Every structure is written in C-alpha cells, then in structure tokens.
Amino acid sequence: MKKERGLLIVLSGPSGVGKGTVRKELFSQPNTNYEYSISMTTRQPREGEVDGVDYFFKSREAFEALIEEGGLLEHAEFVGNYYGTPLAYVNETLDAGRDVFLEIEVQGAAQIREKAPDALFIFLAPPSISELRQRLVGRGTETEDVIAKRIATANAEVEMMNLYDYVVENDEVQNACERINAIIMAEHCRRERVEKRYLSMLKGE
C-alpha cells in the first residue's frame, strides 16, 4: 500500500499572539510527530549553527535564483538578508509521509496558499476576538475613538482569517495545543485524503 503523504501544517496569526510559545509547547510533547520546517537564509551562520539543521545557508545569488525558479514556498527580506521556506525540502519530507509544521507570519500565508493549496492552515487568534464585539457593544464605557480602533483591528484580523481553514483561540497554551493536535488528527481522517489510499488497495497497488 502506498505511503500516505504527510500534511503541511501552517500555523500563523497576528504578531504577539503566541505562535512561538504554542509551537515550542507542541514540540516539547513526547507524542509529537511533526517535522519542524527548516528555513533558508542568506545571512552568515552564527557560531554553533549547522547547515541543514538550523538553517539552509545560501548565497544571495543562489537564493534569488530559487525565487525566480519558484523554488520557495514563501520568502521575505529582513535587514538585508533573505529568509524563506524551500519547496524541495518540504516536498521531500511530505513524500516520506512526515507532517511538516511551519510557523509563519500572516503575510507569508497567502504565498503558501498559492503554491500548496492542500496545506492545512491554522489561524492562532487572541482570545478577545470572539468576545470583542459583544464587549464593545455591551460595556458602554469606551470612547468612540477607542471603539472605532478596536473594531478596525478586529475587522483586519477577521479578513486575515479568510486565508485559513481553522481558527484556534490561544486562551491557554495547553488548550491551544490540544485543539491543534485534534485538528491535525481530523485532517488525516478527511475523506479526500483517505479515499485515494483505499482505491489503491482495491486496485492491488
């Protein structure tokens, strides 16, 4: 029977929502079986960093060639250095049946959605999102300016959610991790993923 291709799991959300904290907690759990995506960069290795373990270190020319060839899932430039997610590495890991976990800023999600439409997109939201409108309407203590700013922020975050398949509120880190693990387990049971495997079995492949 053919090995099931792994899932590309994309976790993102607004800056400061706690993506890194949640990802570290997930990977500290003994039953976690995800591969953390190794990024590619043009910056110089720091002391102790190993190519292919901490980062894939590339020259600027090689990185820009990959951009031209469409060899990156997403990329951005910070302080004169490129950072990105190499498509070949991700595909090789997925083909080996391993789930790849990618923690990324919201801006990169649209790039990934174009190149990997089958990826699982999880939006990590602050716990105030679901309560914000009700609080603003019912409280009656905020100035109009404050209410307008909060509604604008909420609207921007809701618009960003449109890129995602699931929204997980980060009320407590452990709760968020449990929800993310449950979502990933459910995705592995999705009919569209399982059906191909069973059809192959029926054909004797």
Using a cut of 0.85, tell me whether the model's pTM lies above it: no
Contact assessment for residue 100 and residue 39, using Cβ atoms and an 8 Å cutoff: no
179-195 pLDDT, tens digit each: 999 999 999 888 887 88
CA distance 86 to 173: 29
* pLDDT at residue 26 is higher than 90: yes
Average of per-residue pLDDT across 131-159: 66
What integer is the mean pLDDT of 7-13? 91
Span 30-61, pLDDT tens digits: 888 899 888 899 999 988 889 988 889 999 99
Residue 191 burial by CB count (10 A; 0-12/13-18/19+): exposed, middle or buried?
Answer: exposed
Give the pLDDT band of residue 198 (cuts 50, 70, 90).
confident
Concatenate the DSSP letters of all residues of the chain into one string: -PPPPPPEEEEE-STTS-HHHHHHHHHHSTT--EEEPPPEESSPPPTT--BTTTBEE--HHHHHHHHHHT-EEEEEEETTEEEEEEHHHHHHHHHTT-EEEEE--HHHHHHHHHH-TTSEEEEEE-TTHHHHHHHHHHH--S-HHHHHHHHHHHHHHHHHHTT-SEEEE-SSHHHHHHHHHHHHHHHHT-HHHHHHHHHHHHTT-
Q: What is the CATH number that goes with domain 8-37+99-202? A: 3.40.50.300
Nearest alpha-carbon partner for 122 in 102, 142, 136: 102
Specify the amino acid at residue 93.
T
Question: How would residue 11 be classed by pLDDT, with cut points 50, 70 and 90?
Answer: very high
| Cβ-based neighbour number of residue 95 at 10 Å | 11
pLDDT for the residue 77 = 86
Q: Is 132's pLDDT higher than 60?
A: no
